[in-house]
Amino acid sequence: MWPELLSFLQYFRWNTPATLALTSAAVGSVASLAWISVRDAAVRKRQRHDTALEVASSLESYARTCRTMMHKAAWAASAPAGTVSRVASNSVSVPAFAYSEKLQWQVLSRKVISELREYPATVHSAREHVNSFREFGEQLDLCAQVEYECAKAAKSALTLARVIRRRHGAAKWRPVTTDTALERELSDFIATAEQKRRASLQGRTDLAIDSQVTARPFEPPLSA
């Protein structure tokens, strides 16, 4: 067997036309596959970039919608008591949020998809929380809660949009003049609202303690 194989190898020379043709075809196939791979990678990168940009734009638009709802809630809270104010308060709530159905989720990583899909669930939870105030709370409490939840939702949307833009190399958000300080305004509003909530909670706690002391005057110690 070895003599036959040796004869075949001696016959199979690299400078024969058949060998040159096979070599050329192999090199061409490798080059074609490499070019297709590079082209597909570039297309996929562009698709990720476009999808990330669309997601970020949706989140930033939602943040502006939340800011508008905050203004509506503040107006409803300041309206005189009556039918108009009740109608106004019933029309305020945390806006619903959903991504476009045309998004190409498959071009994004699983980690990014998980982060993005958690946000609509967070907004839905905030809407449910506000609805509990609508059913059981006072009008002013409802409006204040809408403002607070909208501010948190808007702040989270802007933060997530900034992360998505940076991670996929999309251009930074260039807001119009009225939105240049939006994120800072939201942060300031949230900090002030949380400070008021803590002060209110502390006031209620102190009032409850005072009520217990008043209801239970000084009692003499029990005799042995």
Residue range 64-100, pLDDT digits in tens: 999 999 999 988 888 776 655 566 677 889 999 999 8
For the ranges 53-67, 157-171, 191-205, the lowest mean pLDDT is seen at 191-205
24 pLDDT more than 70: no
Q: Determine the pLDDT at residue 29.
A: 58
- This prediction has a pTM of 0.71
User: What is the average pLDDT value for the chain, to the nearest integer?
Assistant: 76
Mean pLDDT of the region 109-135: 89
Measured CA angle at 197 (ends 141, 59), to 5 deg: 75
Per-residue pLDDT band at 35 (split at 50, 70, 90):
very low
CB 70 within 8 A of CB 126: no
CB 100 within 8 A of CB 58: yes
% of the chain beyond a pLDDT of 90: 29
CB 146 within 8 A of CB 130: yes
